[in-house]
Chains A and B, each alone.
Chain A
Amino acid sequence: MQSHTKDFRQGAGAALSDPKIQANLEGLYNGFHQARIDASDQTPDWEALQDKGRAIKAHTLDNLAYYLEMVERNVIASGGHIYFARDAEAASNYVVNLAKERGIELVIKGKSMVSEEMALNHRLEEEGIEPVETDLGEYIVQLAEETPFHIIAPAIHKSRVEVSELFAEKLNVPMYDNIEDLTREARDQLRQKFVDAGMGITGANFIVAETGTVTLVTNEGNGRMCTSMPKIHVAITGMEKVVPSIEDLGLFLRLLIRSATGQRISSYVTTVTGPRGEDEVDGPEEFHLVIVDNGRSKMLADPNLREALYCLRCGACLNACPVYRKVGGHAYGWVYPGPIGAIVSPMLTNLSEAKDLPFASTLCGACKEACPVKINIPRMLLYLRKELTQGETYPEHKSVSMAESTAVKGWRASVSSSFMMRLSNLGGRLLQLPFVRGGRIDRLPSPLSGWTKHRKFPAIASKPFRTRWKNIGKK
Chain B
Amino acid sequence: MNQTDNAVKASLFVTCIIDQFFPEVGEAAVRVLRRLGVDVEFDQSQTCCGQPAFNNGFWNDAKPTARRLVDSYEGEGNVVVPSGSCAAMLRVFYNELFHDEQDTLRRAQALAPHVFEFTEFVSDVLGAENREGLFHATKPMRVTYHESCHLKRELGVDLQPRSLIKSLPGVELVEMPQAEVCCGFGGTFSVKYADISAAMLNDKIANIQSANVDAVVAGDMSCLMHIGGGLEKQEAGIRAIHIAQLLDERI
Contacts and interface: CB of A to CB of B under 8 A. Distances in A.
28 contacts: A12-B196, A13-B195, A16-B195, A326-B199, A359-B192, A361-B186, A362-B187, A364-B186, A365-B153, A389-B58, A390-B60, A408-B56, A412-B61, A412-B65, A417-B45, A418-B46, A448-B191, A454-B198, A454-B202, A455-B201, A455-B233, A456-B229, A463-B23, A464-B20, A465-B18, A466-B44, A468-B27, A469-B42
B19 A460 contact: no
B189 A359 contact: yes
B118 interface: no
Contact of B47 (A420, A451, A460): A420
A12 B1 CA distance: 57
Contacts of A428: 20
B153 A322 contact: no
Contact of A468 (B23, B50, B149, B185): B23
Interface of A: 9, 12-13, 16, 29, 322-323, 326-327, 359-366, 368-369, 379, 382-383, 385-390, 400, 404, 408-409, 411-412, 415-418, 420-421, 425, 428, 440, 447-448, 450-451, 453-461, 463-469, 472, 475
A454 B153 contact: no
Interface string B169-194: 00000000010111011110111111
Nearest to B23: A465
B229 A360 contact: no
Residue with the highest number of chain B CB atoms closer than 10 Å, among A16, A361, A440, A455: A455
Contacts of B54: 382
B178 A29 contact: yes
Interface in B113-136: none
A275 to B, nearest CB: 47
Interface in B54-89: 54-61, 64-65
A389 B56 CA distance: 8
Contacts of A385: 55-57
B141 to A, nearest CB: 23
Given A323-B200, A454-B230, A461-B20, A418 B47 contact: yes
A421 B19 contact: yes
Chain B interface helix/strand/loop/mixed: helix
B196 A323 contact: yes
A415 B48 contact: yes
Given A362-B189, A382-B96, A416-B47, A461 B194 contact: no
Contacts of B230: 454-455
B226 interface: yes
Which of A13, A322, A386: most chain B Cβ within 10 A?
A322
Interface of B: 1, 14, 16, 18-23, 26-27, 30, 34, 42, 44-48, 50, 52-61, 64-65, 93, 96, 149-150, 152-154, 178, 180-182, 184-187, 189-202, 225-226, 229-230, 232-233
Contacts of A472: 27, 30
Contact of B194 (A323, A383, A451): A451
Given A379-B96, A382-B54, A428-B20, A322 B150 contact: no
Contacts of B152: 365
| Residue in B64, B184, B195 with the greatest tally of chain A CB atoms within 10 Å | B195
A450 B193 CA distance: 8
A366 B152 CA distance: 10
Contacts of A465: 14, 18-19, 23, 26-27
Contact of A418 (B23, B45, B52): B45
B61 A408 contact: yes
Given A388-B57, A472-B27, A454 B45 contact: no
Contacts of A360: 189, 193, 196
A394 to B, nearest CB: 12
A455 B18 contact: no
Contacts of A461: 20-23
Contacts of A415: 16, 47-48, 50, 65
B34 A475 contact: yes
Given A460-B21, A465-B18, A400 B184 contact: no
Contacts of A365: 149-150, 152-154
Contacts of A390: 57-60
Given A365-B153, A465-B27, 19 more contacts: A16-B196, A322-B184, A323-B196, A326-B200, A359-B56, A360-B196, A365-B152, A366-B153, A382-B57, A385-B57, A386-B59, A418-B47, A421-B16, A421-B19, A454-B202, A455-B229, A457-B225, A458-B22, A465-B26
Contacts of A408: 53, 56, 58, 61
A12 B195 CA distance: 9
Contacts of A389: 56-59
Nearest to A26: B203
Contacts of A362: 149, 182, 184-187, 189, 197, 200
B233 A416 contact: no
Contacts of A466: 14, 19, 42, 44, 46
A409 B61 CA distance: 7
A421 B47 contact: yes
A456 B205 CA distance: 14
A364 B232 contact: no
Contacts of B178: 29
A130 B123 CA distance: 65
A411 B52 CA distance: 9
Contacts of B20: 421, 425, 428, 460-461, 464
A363 B44 contact: no
B14 A417 contact: no
Contacts of A468: 23, 26-27
B34 A327 contact: no
Contacts of A454: 194, 197-198, 201-202, 229-230, 233
A417 B14 CA distance: 15
A420 B150 CA distance: 28
Given A364-B186, A450-B190, A469 B44 contact: yes
